[in-house]
A and B are shown apart, each in its own frame.
Chain A
Amino acid sequence: MSRTHSNDETKIALHEVVAEMYDKIVKGEAPTMTLPVRTKTNIGFDEKLGVYKYGKKRSIRDATSLGSAKQLLRALHVVEFIEEMIDAGKSSTLREMYYISEAWGLGKFGSQNESNNLAEDLEVVTKCLREDFKLRPEEDGARMIGNLTLRERNRRGEWMRINARDDVGDSGYGVPYNVEEEKIELLEHDINFIMAIETGGMFDRLIENGFDEAYNCGLLHLKGQPARSTRRILKRMSEEWDLPVVVFLDGDPWSFRIFASIAYGAIKTAHISEYLATPSATYLGITADDIMAYDLPSDDLSPRDIEALKAELSDPRFADPWWQEQINMMLELGKKAEQQSLAKYGLDFVTDTYLPEKLADLGLA
C-alpha cells in the first residue's frame, strides 16, 4: 500500500510544475502555479476512501505580485534542490533546506514555516510525498508501549525485531519518521485495542499504573498535534491488525481538531488523507459532557477557543450530530478541561474509574 513514487516519476511530476511557469512566460503571460485550495471550504468526504480529501477548487498563484512571484522562484529552487538530492542519493531535513536556501539569493526563504509550506505545496501539486522529495521532517515521531512486535530496519540495513513491551524502557518504542514497509514491518500483537493519548503526562501515568497490561492494549503518545509518521503507523496498525483505535485527549477545541486529523484527515494534508487517516478511530474523551458528569476542574474558554469552536461548527469533518452536540455543549458550558484534571479524584482515578467506564461504553472493557 506504499504510496511512494520512483525517482523518475517524482522528477517528471516536478517538471510539470516548472513547465507551467515556463510555458506561461513563452506565451507572454505571468508565470503561474496551480494548486488546490487548502482550506476547510475545499475538503469533502470521499466515499470510496472514507476520509476527507481536497475538492475541485483550484487557486492560481501567479507572479503579478512580488510575494507570489517570490514563492514561484522559491519553488523552482526547491525543485532544483530535490533533483540534486535524488541524483546524489541524499536526503535532508526541512530545516536543513531552510538553511540551504540562504544561498538562493532572491529565492531564499523568509522563515522555516515558508519552506515547510512550500514543500507541502509541491506535494499537493505533484501528488508525490515529501519522502519522494527526500525531505525529512524535523519533528520526531511518537512513543509507543504495549505487547506488540514489529521489525525495524536499522541504519546498517539490518532488520531488528522489537517488542514494544519487553524490549523497551519506560519511555517506550520511539516511532521513526519513516514508517513505510521498507522500514517497518508489523509482525504480531496480543492486544485488544490501541489508545492514542495527547499528553506525555497522561501517557506516563497510564504506564506507571500498568494500564496497558491490565487492559491488554497498546498506548501511543501523540505529542500534541501528531506528526505524519504517528498518524501513519496508527493507521497501519489499525488496518493491518484490524484493531480498534480510541483517542484520549484534553477536552478543548484544539483536541477536537487533533481527533479530526487522526480520524478524518487534516486540512493541510488532505491530499494524503487516505494514507494518514484512521476512519475507525473513536473519540474517547474528554468530552464536553465528561466535564459535567465528572465535575472536572475546568478553565473558561478564551476568545480564541470560542472562535475555534465556532469554526468547527462549519467544518465538514464535524458535520455529524454527535460532534455538533459536543461543540455546542462546550460553547454553552463555556469551559474546557485537561486530561490531568481527572487527578482531582486521585492518581488512580483515571485508570480505575474513568477509562474503564468510558471503555465499557464502547464494549472494550
Chain B
Amino acid sequence: MRMAGTAERMAKNQKQVAISEFFEKNKHFLGFDSLTRSLITAVKEAVDNSLDACEEARILPEVRIQITKIDDKKNIVELKSEDNGPGIPQRSIEKVFGQLLFGSRFHAIRQSRGQQGIGITGVVMYSQLTTGRKTHVRSKIATEASAAIVDIGLDTRKNKATKSNETREIWELEDGSFKEHGLEITTRMKAKYQKGRQSVYQYLRMTSIVNPHADITFTDPEGQVHHWARVTERLPTKVESIKPHPHGIHLGTLQRMCSESTDSRMTVFLRNNFSGMSTRAAKELLQVAEISEKAKPKSLKPEQYRALLEAFQGERMLNNKPVKLLNPPTNCLSPIEELLIKKGLSKTIDSRFVTTMTRAPTVTQGNPYQVEVGLIFGEGMLADKPVEVLRFANRVPLMYQQGGCLLTKAIESVDWRQYGLDQAGGRGVPKGPAAILVHLASTNVQFTSEAKEALADNSEVMDETRKALLEMGRGLRKHLEKKKKMAKTQEKFELVNDIIPAIAQKSAEILGRPIPELSGSITKIMSAVIAESETLWNKETKQTDISITLFNYTSRARSYTLLASWPEREGATMENNNTGGRKEATGVWAWKLETLDPGQTYVIKFSLAGLEKGDWTDTDVFFRGSQDVIGATKMDEKLLEEIRRQEAAANGDEEEEAADEIPIEESKPLPAPEVPPPNGQQTLFGGGE
C-alpha cells in the first residue's frame, strides 16, 4: 500500500512545462549534441531517474543497464535500463515520459539529481527523432499484480505523448520469480558507444562511487558485464523540500509566486512561501519596500515586485541595515558522508590510502550547500599522469567541461606540492597516483550552461571547496610522511637484521676467526627505540589483526606507555587483547609497559571485530616516555584532554541526569593496571643472554 502511495503521490506532484519544440532546436544544450554524448546522456537520465525514485521510495536501488549494437554502420544502439524502484502507475506513464520539463523537482527547492526535469522525456524524444521508434516501457507498481506495458512516442508540437500497444502482462524474472516493482525502458537511438574518460562505463563507475547504496550492473556492447556492488545498506538521508530563501529569488519567480498566490495579505504570503522568514522580518521587509502589510499578493504592481526584491537583497535598508533574515534550513541536503565516500572510492579504485572530508552545510545566496571531498592514493594508478578528477553535483557525475568547472578550479588553486603531489609551478591539476573527488550538494546547483556539466564560479563555494581540499591535503601529507618514516625504519631493520649479520659472518669467514657478537654494533647503529605496527585483514576470522612491536635498540633500559587508536566509535570491538591495558579515551587504548632492557622487544597483539575489509587499514601508535620512539607519535595530552571533554559533553547530552557527575568521574585518576609479566618479551639477539 505504501509503495503505491509513494508512486501515485510522486506522479501527482508533476507539473507541466511545454517546450518540446524547444528540445528539437536545442538538443545540444541538453546533452544530445554528439553520438557518444547522446548515449551517455540517455543512460544518465535513466539512472538519475531510477536513483531518485528509489531514494524517495526508500528502496535500495538495483540498476541494470544494457547497451546493444543494432546497426554498426548506421550507429544504431539499443539502451535497456531496468530498476527496482516503485514503478509508475499506468495512467501516469505517458505524463512522465511524454512531456519535457515534467517533474516535481523543477519546482521544489531540494537537493535532487536532475534538478531540471528535461529527464527521460529527452531520451524518448531523441530516440524518436533519430530512429523514428517509440520507447518501450514496462512498469510494475507493488499494489498491482501485473505490469503495465506501453510504447511511448511524442508529438513534439503539441507537447503530448502518444501511446500505442498498451497492454498488461505478468513481469517474470529470469529466475522464475515475479518482479515486485520496478521500471524498464527499452529504446533505440542513433548513438555511439565509446570507451575512455567520457564513456557510459566511466559515468556508471562514477555514479557508483557517490551512490554506495546502489547496486549497478552494466552490460556493454561486447557482452562484458561490469558490476559495482552495493557497499552500504544505508540509503541517503531523506531530503526535505524547503521553501525558497529571499536571498536566492529572481524577479520572475517572485512575480509568478505572487500572481499564483491565493493568500489574502502580504505578511501571510511571505511567512508561508519563504524560508528564513520570521513575522518580524516579513513586516520589516514590507516596511522598507513600502508595501502595505494588508496588500493582496495577487494585486501587486510591477514596481512593487522590484521594491520587494530590493528589500530581499538588502538594497533597501532599515536604519541603514539590511533586514535580517534567518538562514534557510540545511536538512534539505544529503551529503554522502565521509565513510561512505571512502567505501565508494575503495570499491572502484584498488588502492591503499583514502582520505575524505565533509564540510558542514552552509548557505550562499539563499541556497544551502555542502562540499565534500575525497582522495585516494597509491599503487594501481599512474604516477606520472595528472590525477583523476571526479566531479559530482548532487551525486551526479560531471563528465564534460572539466577545465571550466569551479570544482576543477578549486583543485587547481591548491598548491599540492606541500601535500606530497607533483604540480608544475604549484598550480593546475597535480600529478601523482591519486584520484580526487569533489561533490557539491545543493538545492540550487549553478551551472555554467544548460548542458549542466560545469559549475559556475561562486567565491563562497570556491572558498569552501578549497578549505575542504586543504584539510584533506593535510591528511595525505601525514600519510606520506608516515609512509616515508616506515620505509626508513624498514631499511634500518633490514640493515641490522640482514646486512650486519652477513658482514659479520663473511668477514669472520675470510679472516678465519669466530663470528663476533653483534649486539654492540646494532645498538650503536640503531641507537633508537622503534615501534612497528601492522594492521592486517584476516580473511578467516573476518577480523582486523593488529600487532605493535616495540624494539629497544639503545644501550639503556627504557620504559613507556604505548597508546593506539582504534575505531571504537565506528562500532568495532577489541578481541584477543592478551596484553591487557586500559581505555584511555574513546578510540584510544593504552598499555603501560614494563622496563625494556637494551636489545629487548615487546609485542602487543589484538584484533578488531565488527568491521569490514578496508574499514581500518592503519593504526596510529602513540607513546608516553622521555626518549623518542621511531614509528610512534608522542601523545598530545592536550588533544587527549579535548577528546575526553567532548566525550563528557556528548554523554551529558544523552543522559541529562548524569551530566553533573561525569566531570567528577573523569577527573579521578584511573588506576593504571600493570601489564602482566609479558610473555611476548624476548631478546633481539639470539643467544645473547
Contact = CB atoms under 8 A, between A and B. Distances in A.
A205 to B, nearest CB: 46
B495 A15 contact: no
A29 B498 contact: no
A19 B511 contact: yes
Contacts of A24: 521
A28 interface: yes
A69 B503 contact: yes
29 contacts: A15-B510, A18-B507, A18-B510, A19-B511, A22-B507, A22-B508, A22-B513, A25-B503, A25-B520, A25-B521, A26-B516, A28-B520, A28-B524, A29-B520, A29-B524, A30-B521, A31-B507, A31-B521, A64-B525, A65-B495, A66-B494, A73-B499, A73-B503, A73-B506, A77-B506, A79-B510, A83-B510, A105-B502, A106-B502
A80 B503 CA distance: 12
A31 B519 CA distance: 13
Interface in B500-518: 500, 502-504, 506-511, 513, 516-518
B507 A76 contact: yes
A66 B495 contact: yes
Contacts of A31: 500, 503-504, 507, 521
Given A18-B510, A79-B510, A106-B498, A66 B504 contact: no
Nearest to A28: B520
B525 A25 contact: no
B69 interface: no
B507 A25 contact: yes
Contacts of B499: 63, 66, 69-70, 73, 106
A21 B507 contact: yes
Contacts of A83: 510
Given A25-B503, A28-B520, 14 more contacts: A22-B511, A22-B513, A22-B516, A25-B507, A25-B518, A30-B524, A31-B503, A63-B503, A63-B521, A64-B525, A65-B495, A66-B491, A69-B503, A107-B502
A9 to B, nearest CB: 16
B168 interface: no
Nearest to B527: A64
Interface string A300-331: 00000000000000000000000000000000
A105 B513 CA distance: 22
Contacts of B503: 21, 25, 31, 63, 69, 72-73, 76
Contacts of B474: none
Contacts of B605: none
Contacts of A155: none
A90 interface: no
B427 interface: no
> What 4 A-B pairs have minimum CB-CB distances, sorted nearest first?
A28-B520, A76-B506, A22-B507, A69-B499
A156 interface: no
Interface string B6-21: 0000000000000000
A15 B511 contact: yes
B492 interface: yes
Contacts of B495: 63-66, 69
A27 interface: yes
A308 B251 CA distance: 72
Given A25-B521, A29-B521, A30-B521, A63 B510 contact: no
Contacts of A30: 521, 524-525
A105 B506 CA distance: 12
B502 A28 contact: no
B502 A66 contact: no
Contact of B492 (A18, A21, A66, A80): A66
Interface in A9-60: 15, 18-19, 21-22, 24-31
Interface of A: 15, 18-19, 21-22, 24-31, 63-66, 69-70, 72-73, 76-77, 79-80, 83, 105-107
Contacts, number: 84
A107 to B, nearest CB: 7
A28 B498 CA distance: 17
Nearest to A76: B506
B369 to A, nearest CB: 51
Interface string B164-204: 00000000000000000000000000000000000000000
A118 B204 CA distance: 57
Contacts of A29: 520-521, 524
Contacts of A63: 495, 499-500, 503, 521, 525
A69 B506 CA distance: 13
A65 B521 CA distance: 13
B488 to A, nearest CB: 9
B555 to A, nearest CB: 9
A64 B527 CA distance: 10
Nearest to A67: B491
Contacts of B510: 15, 18, 76, 79-80, 83
Contacts of B498: 106
B502 A27 contact: no
Contacts of B519: 28
A241 B105 CA distance: 102
A1 B506 CA distance: 36
B507 to A, nearest CB: 4
Contacts of B513: 22
A102 B499 CA distance: 16
A18 B521 contact: no
A83 B510 CA distance: 9
A172 B651 CA distance: 95
A27 B517 CA distance: 9
A27 B523 CA distance: 12
A29 B518 CA distance: 9
A15 B513 CA distance: 12
Nearest to A83: B510
A55 B520 CA distance: 33
A27 B511 contact: no
A31 B492 CA distance: 15
Nearest to A72: B503
A27 B491 CA distance: 23
A104 to B, nearest CB: 10
A18 B503 CA distance: 9
Contacts of B524: 28-30
Nearest to B519: A28
B224 to A, nearest CB: 42
Nearest to B512: A15
A158 B360 CA distance: 92
Interface string B536-576: 00000000000000000000000000000000000000000
A73 B499 CA distance: 7
Which residue of A15, A25, A77 has the most chain B CB atoms within 10 A of its CB atom?
A25
Nearest to B506: A76
A100 to B, nearest CB: 15
A311 to B, nearest CB: 29
Nearest to A24: B521
Contacts of A73: 499, 502-503, 506
Nearest to A27: B520
A69 B511 contact: no
Contacts of A18: 507, 510-511
A63 B500 CA distance: 8
Which residue of B502, B509, B510, B523 has the most chain A CB atoms within 10 A of its CB atom?
B510
A338 B519 CA distance: 60
Nearest to A79: B510
A243 B273 CA distance: 109
A251 to B, nearest CB: 38
Nearest to B523: A28
B76 to A, nearest CB: 58
A80 B506 contact: yes
Interface in B453-511: 491-492, 494-495, 498-500, 502-504, 506-511
A63 B525 CA distance: 8
Nearest to B555: A28
A142 to B, nearest CB: 37
A29 B500 CA distance: 11
A21 B503 CA distance: 8
A347 to B, nearest CB: 48
